[in-house]
A = this chain, B = another copy of it.
Amino acid sequence: MAKIKTSEKILKCATRLFAQHGYDGTIMDDLAEQCGVNKASIYYHHKDKATLYENALIALFTPIADAVVAAVSVEDDPVTRLESHIRMFARASADNPYFSAILMRELASGGANMPVSARRQMERVLALLGETLLLGESKNIFKPAETLIIHFMIVGTINLFVTSIPFRKSLPGASRADQRKNFDIESAAAQISKIIIDSLLLK
């Protein structure tokens, strides 16, 4: 139990800091202090800052892609598959709020520093969506559509929804009902699903 604790603790803490401040904005001294470990321990377990970042991203991206793939691939009906896809991606993003922030930063810098293994996880999700849309087309349920645009719609909308939660909480007004509608990821996922499927379905 105690074996991997420090390494894990560093990774978790680093993920938070990378999400909050970006790669350059994350200071190794601060990380050590906030982890409650010595700085040399970080370097002992994770080699250097770049490797630590890579480790953090792999640990962050992989389970999310896994969850989406697992949930979708057991379904046969294209509509159900797409609903599961969006719901699971939304849930996974909300469960791991640092994922969206880091993904957005990476996309903002053109995926320059993104490790291939992390990028591959996003490609898995994109490929899965492609399969679902193609299945829908071949069954005469869906109109033809651009996979990439649908993917961007899902990811982009969820990204903004998740990362803006703390920001929106500090906004004025909004009733209890609004609050729920605005902060509940399940409700957001359902709305996104509805919009996309409405447009995709052959009338």
Contact = CB atoms under 8 A, between A and B. Distances in A.
Interface in A142-200: 145-146, 148-149, 152-153, 155-161, 163-164, 166-168, 181-182, 188, 191-192, 194-196, 198-199
B156 A107 contact: no
A19 interface: yes
Contacts of A194: 199
A95 to B, nearest CB: 17
A39 interface: no
A105 interface: yes
Interface string A128-153: 00000000000000000110110011
Complex copy number for this chain:
2
Residue of A100, A148, A164 with highest tally of chain B CB at under 10 A: A148
A138 B10 CA distance: 54
State the majority secondary structure of interface residues on A: helix
Nearest to A26: B24
Contacts of A20: 109-110
Contacts of A24: 21-22, 24-25
Interface of A: 19-25, 100-102, 104-105, 107-111, 145-146, 148-149, 152-153, 155-161, 163-164, 166-168, 181-182, 188, 191-192, 194-196, 198-199
20 contacts: A23-B25, A24-B25, A25-B25, A101-B109, A105-B108, A107-B159, A108-B108, A110-B164, A110-B167, A148-B168, A149-B188, A152-B160, A152-B164, A153-B157, A156-B156, A156-B157, A156-B158, A156-B160, A157-B157, A195-B195
4 A-B pairs closest in CB distance: A156-B156, A24-B25, A198-B199, A24-B24
